[in-house]
Amino acid sequence: MNMVAKLNNDITPDGSDYETVRQVIELITEDYRDQPSLETIAARLGQSPTQLQKTFTRWAGLSPKAFLQAVTLDHAKRLLREEAMPLLETSIEVGLSGPSRLHDLFVTHEAMSPGEWKAKGGGLTIRYGFHPSPFGVALVMATDRGLAGLAFSNHGDEAACLDDMTCRWPNATYVQDTEATAPYAERIFEPGRWTSDQPLRVVLIGTDFQVQVWESLLKIPFGKAVTYSDIANDIGRPKAMRAVGAAVGANPISFVVPCHRAVGKGGALTGYHWGLTRKRAILGWEAAHA
């Protein structure tokens, strides 16, 4: 019998780091044109510059200044519009390559069979847990075959996030198991642990069409973005851009299956299931780590 997923009150650690990092990311991505200084950001949040620097760097993997530089208008244009020289290739060209170049080799995937999908998760045991991430609270979901879900939540909205994800596979059995999902969270957001000899196993649970779209997303290089029409052409369905957009929005494994790298015509940032601010933040984080 299916177990109803429940969110316990103590599922996230105590402390204000989640909220601090979220506010910094939101402030920078919205006000990057003003190039706010560390002191300005700290004052807005009522914290000391030194403590804010330490907190943000520990959680996001780069300083507020580096993140700001990554999401400036000129940098965003390079990321989203210049097809001739993607950021990753540019960084390698100027000698700034890093472990992020291993991202494509870090992820390997398989898809559930059509029968398993039709069962809506029936027979599956999905373990889940909430973990800290550079982009807020991350809900990590895994089966015995690998990572099946990754979602994001602001602090206090975890229950809604959990409901959103569990309704995708209503017949699955859900078990809260933070210990089991912690190794996934630790690897996903730490570029230093992206290795090709021990790839992250991902399980895609969706319709045949959705899986095609998600597999196309996995082809997008780290530090680059493509349009929905590019994805439609890649899967051999050039007239199905609307359906492609819906499949991108339904992607259950955010960040790892990089739906954030799908943009509108001309490089315009379009909606993102977990919030447009978070989409900007992820693109900026990738640019900084490329």
What letter would DSSP give residue 261?
G
Q: Which residue has the tokens 């990321």?
A: 79
- Report the C-alpha gap between 69 and 261 in whole angstroms: 19
- Report the C-alpha gap between 135 and 274 in whole angstroms: 10
Paired tokens of 189: 């957001």
Nearest of 5, 3, 2, 1 to residue 165 by alpha carbon: 5
Contact 206, 37 (CB under 8 A): no
Pairing of strands 136-143, 146-153: antiparallel
Nearest of 152, 127, 156, 132 to residue 142 by alpha carbon: 127
Catalytic residue among 5, 259, 281, 282: 259
Q: Note if 259 is an active site residue.
A: yes
- Report the C-alpha gap between 117 and 58 in whole angstroms: 39
The total number of residues written for the chain in this structure:
290
- Report the C-alpha gap between 7 and 136 in whole angstroms: 17
Strands of the sheet containing 173-176, edge to edge, are 107-111, 200-204, 146-153, 136-143, 125-133, 173-176
Task: For residue 143, give the amino acid letter.
Answer: T
What letter would DSSP give residue 15?
S
Catalytic residue numbers, as ranges: 259
